[in-house]
Amino acid sequence: MKKTIWKIWVIAIIALGAALLSSCDGGKGDEIVLNVYNWGEYISDGSEGSPDVNKMFEDYCKEQGLNVRVNYTTFDSNESMYNKLRSGAVSYDIVIPSDYMIERMVKEDMLEKIDVSKLTNYQYVYDNFKTLYGREYDAENVYFVPYFVGYVGVIYNTKYVSEEDAARQSWDLLWDEKYSGKILQFNNPRDAFGTVMYKNGVDVNTTDKAEWESALEELKSQKSLIQSYVMDEIFNKMKNESAYIAPYYAGDFISMYEENDDLAFYFPKEGTNVFLDGMCIPKGSENKEIAQMYIDFMLSKEAATANAEMVYYATPNKLVNENPEYIEYMTSVHEDAMEYLDPRFEEGYVQTYYENLDDDTLQLMNTLWEELKIDTSAGVGIYIACGAVILVIAAIVIYRVVKKKKRMY
């Protein structure tokens, strides 16, 4: 009995000591972890001497008496982000998908409503971007706050692509056999199919099964010319000249150009995609109030400018876009930077947002994409290899059976 009482006292003393130590550790026990999920290379993160906006936000929270740590991770496509979030295996407080994926997530009840009345910097976002030009799925301005805007075009290397070919200003450069093995393609279905549909004058939001199947056949015909399907990998491939031609986003072209000034860019004459990425709060967020603080902080002049100067995408934020110092900086990186970021297309030029596809069309697109990604040449090799293995195993079995029979005799 005495031993038992002694043990209880020892445990109590240890617990009390741990509690005292916890209270003296600078408040780490009260730490709030804000989980942020964003595109790769899509924020000012302290690299190359840039401001670290996540650290800036943490410091801002300390001034408010909050001990917040930003746990920042990245994805490389809307689809991979969606699949991870949909699986339920992870929980995030902030995600930054593109317009059509936001629409899908709203439809599937995956997003919390944002109280924009609490965002002091929301007033500086251009009105036309707040609802994506009046799209019905967020007419109340409650499911996303604009982060960046961009356009898709073709990046090419002037050392290897002839002036004549580049002058066509067409998507068909991605199908030019002269550059076989040096062409890249998007590694996500929406953008990859988009390159074909724009090239052929087809509505990228079509629900016509035949048009999707026709686009698949053209992507299959392109496959033998493709070096690889890429997302973030494009940066190294284009900068180090292992590839010469690629479809990608205008803002990323400027980033690549900064390290290789032989790169050039154009918006294809047939039309292109304009997109908007928005800051959203997923359902299940454990820190909604802090998430709203984070969104508002990203709209502040200091953070928004740091991000725009690091990422090189068009900003929907007046505090940045109308700042002469920002314009001067971007022009110093590339003389036509502002024209690429905020192009003024001629009347009639096709520029469209991707819309969320209906369930049948979405399933069709994903099925066709999987069909495309099956490497037929590798598949044949696998079948041959499997056949060879089976023949070897069969030969060994037959040999052992014959040998065993010989021993019996």
Q: What is the DSSP letter of 242?
A: S
What percentage of the chain reaches a pLDDT higher than 70? 82
Q: What is the DSSP letter of 232?
A: T
User: Rounded distance, CA 138 to CA 144, Å?
Assistant: 8
Tell me which H or E stretch contains 63: helix 53-63
What pLDDT shows up at residue 130?
A: 86
- Decide: residue 165, CB within 10 A, 0-12 exposed, 13-18 middle, 19+ buried: middle
Name the pTM for this structure: 0.79
Residue 337: count of CB within 10 angstroms of its CB: 21
Crossing angle (nearest 10°) for helices 288-298 and 301-311: 70
What pLDDT shows up at residue 398?
A: 55
What pLDDT shows up at residue 228?
A: 96
Residues 149, 314: contact at Cβ < 8 Å?
A: yes
- Residues 85-98: pLDDT tens digits? 999 888 999 999 99
User: Rounded distance, CA 60 to CA 294, Å?
Assistant: 10
Q: Which two tokens stand for residue 388?
A: 């060879």
Residues 247, 198: contact at Cβ < 8 Å?
A: no
The SS3 assignment for 14 reads helix
What pLDDT shows up at residue 137?
A: 62
User: Rounded distance, CA 334 to CA 312, Å?
Assistant: 11
What pLDDT shows up at residue 131?
A: 76
- Position of tokens 């110093």? 332
- Looking at the domain 150-274+356-373, which fold is it? D-Maltodextrin-Binding Protein; domain 2 (3.40.190)
DSSP secondary structure, 36-50, as one string = EEEETT-S-BSGGG-
pLDDT < 50: residue spans in the chain: 1-29, 376-388, 401-409
Instruction: Name, in order, each residue with C-beta under 8 angstroms of 308's C-beta and a sequence gap of 6 or more.
Output: 148, 315, 317, 320, 326
What pLDDT shows up at residue 128?
A: 84
Q: How many CA atoms lie within 13 A of 132 on its CB side?
A: 30
Helix then strand count (H, E) for the chain reads 17, 10
- Residues 248-265: pLDDT tens digits? 999 999 999 999 999 999
26-148+277-341: CATH architecture: 3-Layer(aba) Sandwich (3.40)
- Position of tokens 């130590």? 21
Q: How many CA atoms lie within 13 A of 108 on its CB side?
A: 16
What pLDDT shows up at residue 114?
A: 95
Q: Which two tokens stand for residue 380?
A: 């044949």
Residue 145: count of CB within 10 angstroms of its CB: 25
User: Rounded distance, CA 356 to CA 103, Å?
Assistant: 6
What pLDDT shows up at residue 22?
A: 38
